[in-house]
Amino acid sequence: MTGITYQLDDFSPVGTSLRGHVTASYGTMIEVFGEPNMPFSDKIWNEWAVRFNVPDEDDLDSEEVYVTIYDWKETHPNQSKSGAYRWHIGSKSREAVWLVADALNSPETMTRTDA
């Protein structure tokens, strides 16, 4: 099996929804995913749009899983940058939370392709 790869990708599919949360410092998020790549909006200050490429068991095909990781309804952009923060994870896929958590906690299982 080739393994899961991921990269920042500014494509964010329509129809995603909250799938769960992950707790990590802003510094850890930068180490793993790079600088936030999405512009701030009325409810989000810091956001990453990430595309995971998940191969099937036979390594013959793969699935692209688009995930957004973001702070939500904070009053200041620095609130999520101090200490451990509970980030929101949005996607169409149920695998999203597991993929983000694995990238943060078991980076040896994945390869970032845009670093």
Exposure b/e, 13-35, CB count within 10 A at least 16 = b: eeebeebeebebebeebeebbee
- Can you read off the two tokens belonging to residue 113? 């392709």
CB atoms closer than 10 angstroms to residue 94? 10
Q: What is the pLDDT of residue 69?
A: 97
- Counting as low any pLDDT under 50, the low residues of the chain are 1
Q: What is the pLDDT of residue 14?
A: 86
pLDDT in tens, 43-63: 999 999 999 999 887 767 889
CA distance 71 to 77: 9
Beta bridge partners of 96: none
pTM over 0.85: yes
Q: What is the pLDDT of residue 98?
A: 96
In what helix (H) or strand (E) does residue 74 lie, and over which residues does it extend? Answer: none
